[in-house]
């Protein structure tokens, strides 16, 4: 438990609420140590339900908390930082989950000595099954790293990376859930064409994705080992995998992630 964390959310949308819920439910950070500010005062119900406090202005949020998560939209971040920087203390840890915004962007706005952690979470955090890449500014301490791992570990897994790897994290896990959703859509469409009704095909495809992911995570085996174990030469699985290879699935996936990483770089400029 991190009772020393007094955590504030600047912006309390779906991701902020997911993180706060994970922390409160796991006990990693007590509910009474959670605070939030949002331009939409209706968001107060979410933080108060966890035992936290809704704060009506960003200055008070900065003065109250030793750790701030900036969870507003990237295009609104300049305004958010302008509203808070007069009250921001260099003793406060700043964590950003805004896509594309660099550590230097926050240090230019909050002070060159600000301790900043840049995080790329993903939407399965809403089900406490997220994957997050975490990059720390050079002046972050071991305690700062522990705080970040505690916060994002409460809603899934967190991996520390260099900031120059964040575009790769964005392409792989940040955008990754949509790839799996799309693959399930394609499987359902194919199942319907093969004679299943849509509800049958959906139930089977969703459970197959869930079961395969669970097995991969819990078995400790590599994906290639598990694939080989269920692929009998000349069998049905082998036929499908050969079709994937012949159609260039590996190259297609590689090109898709490169496109996502390139777009992430563009958004960060």
pLDDT classification of 269: cutoffs 50, 70, 90? confident
Cα torsion 217, 218, 222, 224: sign: negative
- Quote the DSSP letter at residue 127: G
3-state secondary structure of 225: helix
Between the CA of residue 78 and those of 37, 72, 107, 163, 172, what are the distances in Å? 16, 10, 12, 21, 27
| pLDDT band at residue 226 under the 50/70/90 scheme | very high
Cα Rg of the chain (Å, integer): 21
pLDDT score of 99:
87
Q: Is 249 helix (H, G, I), strand (E, B) or coil?
A: helix
* Average pLDDT estimate for 73-78: 91
pLDDT of 4? 85
Six-digit token pair at 181?
Answer: 């959703």
- Given this model, what pLDDT does residue 147 score? 94
By percentage, how much of the chain surpasses pLDDT 70? 99
What is the band of 2 on the pLDDT scale with cuts at 50, 70, 90?
low
Torsion of CA 157, 34, 18, 211, to 10 degrees: 40
Contacts of residue 79, defined as CB under 8 A and 6 or more positions apart, other chains included, come to none
Helix (H) or strand (E) holding 68: strand 67-70
Q: For position 120, what pLDDT does the model report? A: 95
Cβ burial 100-118 (10 Å sphere, 16+ → b, else e): bbbbebbbebbeeebbbbb
pLDDT at 242 over 90: yes
Residue ranges in the chain assigned as alpha helix (H): 14-26, 44-49, 58-64, 77-84, 103-110, 142-153, 166-169, 176-193, 198-219, 223-229, 236-246, 249-267
Residue 253 pLDDT level (bands cut at 50, 70, 90)? very high
Q: Cα(92)–Cα(69) distance, rounded to whole angstroms?
A: 11
Task: Tell me where in the chain the CATH 3.40.50.720 domain(s) lie.
Answer: 7-166
Do 132 and 121 form a contact (C-beta atoms < 8 A)? Answer: yes
Instruction: Indicate whether 102 pLDDT > 90.
Output: yes
pLDDT of 3 strictly over 80: no
Q: Of all helices (H) and strands (E), which one includes residue 183?
A: helix 176-193
Is the separation of the CB atoms in 65 and 84 below 8 Å?
no
3-state secondary structure 79-114: HHHHHHCCCCCCCCEEEECCCCCCHHHHHHHHCCCC
Q: Alpha-carbon distance 233 to 244, whole Å? A: 15
What pLDDT shows up at residue 156?
95
In CATH terms, the fold of domain 7-166 is Rossmann fold (3.40.50)
Summarised one tens digit per residue, pLDDT across range 130-186 is 999 999 999 999 999 999 999 999 999 999 999 999 999 999 999 999 999 999 999
Between CA 74 and CA 125 the distance in angstroms is 19
Name 186's Cβ contacts closer than 8 Å, sequence gap at least 6.
Answer: none
Q: Could you give the residue range(s) of every CATH 1.10.3730.10 domain in the chain?
A: 174-267
Q: Domain spanning 174-267 has what CATH number?
A: 1.10.3730.10
pLDDT band at 56 (very low <50, low <70, confident <90, very high): very high
In which band, very low, low, confident or very high, does the pLDDT at 72 lie, cut at 50, 70 and 90?
very high
d(CA 110, CA 81): 7
For 204-213, how does the pLDDT look when each residue is reduced to its tens digit (9 = 90+)? 999 999 999 9
């Amino acid at each position: 438990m991190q009772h020393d964390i007094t955590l504030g959310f600047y912006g309390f949308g779906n991701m902020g609420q997911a993180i706060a819920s994970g922390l409160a439910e796991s006990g990693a950070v007590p509910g009474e140590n959670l605070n939030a500010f949002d331009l939409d005062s209706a968001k107060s119900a979410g933080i108060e339900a966890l035992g936290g406090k809704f704060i009506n202005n960003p200055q008070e949020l900065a003065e109250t908390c030793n750790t701030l998560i900036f969870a507003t939209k990237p295009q609104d971040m300049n305004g958010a930082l302008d509203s808070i920087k007069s009250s921001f203390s260099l003793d406060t840890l700043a964590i950003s989950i805004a896509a594309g915004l660099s550590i230097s962007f926050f240090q230019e706005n909050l002070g060159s000595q600000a301790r900043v952690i840049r995080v790329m979470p993903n939407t399965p955090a809403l089900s406490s099954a997220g994957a997050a890449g975490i990059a720390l500014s050079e002046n972050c301490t071991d305690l700062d790293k522990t705080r970040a791992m505690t916060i994002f570990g409460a809603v899934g897994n967190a991996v520390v990376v260099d900031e120059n790897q964040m575009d790769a994290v964005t392409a792989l896990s940040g955008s990754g859930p949509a790839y799996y959703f799309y693959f399930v859509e394609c499987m359902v469409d194919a199942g319907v064409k093969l004679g299943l009704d849509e509800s049958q095909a959906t139930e089977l495809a969703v459970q197959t994705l869930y079961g395969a992911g669970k097995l991969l995570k819990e078995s400790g085996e590599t994906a290639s080992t598990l694939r080989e174990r269920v692929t009998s030469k000349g069998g049905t699985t082998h036929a499908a995998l050969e079709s994937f290879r012949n159609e260039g699935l590996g190259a297609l996936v590689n090109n898709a992630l490169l496109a996502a990483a390139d777009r992430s770089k563009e958004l960060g400029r």
